[in-house]
Structure 1
């Protein structure tokens, strides 16, 4: 961490993070718990209230961070800058109690806080990692306080080293006992500290829409007419069809009961900002249910869905939803999820710019994944080939994003990517660079 004197206890940051069973290490999320329990965590910055964007900050600008956990938990916040330097900025010497109550939004720094957070260098992509645990963690091997220093010194460099160290810390915990979430921001000079976000988002909110100018109205001269004889008017009966109709609520069925899993998913994904207004009641789809939403700006149309018996639902948006439904249409006429992917098994993630300058989205399903990039399109990967790809770091590795669907070559699956390929040779998957 930067050992910069903090006259007002200011910590210079850059940022990133991810979620939680054996821990999984990924380039985008650092460390993830594959067990989908009831402990959920959200982290976001002051310029991205939805926690799904990639806002821009100038070096030296003030920044604030917020977290909210679904259950009582101990929260740890790490910052990884573009050079891989790591800061632990909560807990710290000014705010040592890292216990956060369920459903309470905790902001850093807090009101009347004794420190502030400022964006440090270098320019580039930063990640903010939030980790919540039901039990207090011993992270002495990761970070330690020296003397009267307000912020801990982190003895690691690089997100892979942080992920490996955290995996050791959380491995003894019950699989439902911890979870992580990630937020992103970009450090660099831009006009007023802002930049256009991937897929048209502006300032962490909706895209700017050019106001429509009304067409000029031609005023016709009014011809005067003789005063008409008064006519006895009949009272107008209201049209019953024009009566106001109540707005459909997230999770609402046609009988006005509610699907709690869809309600929870709407809340978890900040649905007012990412899903918009519900356009249908919760209805049957295959062996489960779904509800359709109008979407918000660049997020596109969306659905929230889950299989029968599942207590957890997930949202699928825009280009990933379009390809998901196209695969279902091709396989079964759109009557149920495509068998090669199954039901959604995780919330969509934004993938920040990789070494090839490509940004995109990642959708996780029971049996596979969909990767979207504006540069190449939306493609599916499944099975052991997908595991090999993600084990190397996925789209953040030297392979980059897929440039076509997984396909059969000589009776075996193969995959093509920005920086190479994966092929089944000699009884196992082999990776080849371009």
Structure 2
């Protein structure tokens, strides 16, 4: 820990880096012309590699931060205020995830389009937070080793058996629930295996918290992370090849054919190493503010890029049509714009929410007044309609 504070600045910096990488990754992936997606181009390959490690880092850091806040206090179980806050946060992320996929024009027609039911980053992080709370509550009264053991155990189980369950269609579930487990219907992320990165982050957080007073915490953490990262990136495939040759278990062969989860996990450890080494330079206020504003940044980027609510986003007008000379500066400008808007929103969040609440209340009052004023008028209209109908019938009958 930094001597000045219990705050882990390098984690905030990691989160800031991950959200900015996510912004440019989504922008370029969605708008760059396929002609320029050349795997033989080293620049494109480097970009693709770093884009691939963004989501694992983001999920891992999210699990780390939430668990660090959850377990650092003295109150345990349901008495821990972070439990209630975490439940609200998890449900909030699920709600925002669905709202961002809502199309108002379809809603006015009485329709919820297919995209509304698809699962994305916010859904998975929200559900992961709820899962971490469940694991915490289950293990809080048990031995100290139970909580971290469950966390790392879930990570290993989800990663090891991914080749098997990724083939399942989960057709026995309603589609909106199946979307949390399979990409077959179009979901971008699924709770499995991505929960595994979140529980890994939570596991690392437990280790940091329990050894926070160790004099050589960072040298030890950097050494361990460097070793684990190297082994996962460069030796995990060799390990699974050995295990398959030794046991002839088909699962190891399936993992070997697409060993992306463990390799990406190694990348995450390497990112931890870089940010821990440079932690002394991670106290810039703007960087920390960006790290604390990831939800606002994500929401704003989703609205601007994918056109939440209206369908009128950049993706609609420039879908896979930009050349690199436009896409690259465009991505930089997009990152700056989303970050600026998010930071401005966070600065005036209280005033903005107050204004919105006042507007909603004003609409409610006006609607109530209109409804109350309309009731007598409506009654009068009904009485006159009845009188007219009676006179008309008398006239017809002669």
The answer to whether the superposition gives a TM-score over 0.5 is no
TM-score normalised by L of structure 1? 0.22
Greater fraction helix: 2
TM-score, normalising length from structure 2?
0.24
Between structures 1 and 2, the one with greater strand share: 1
* The structure with more radius of gyration: 2
Which structure's relative contact order is higher, taking Cα pairs within 8 Å and 6+ residues apart?
2
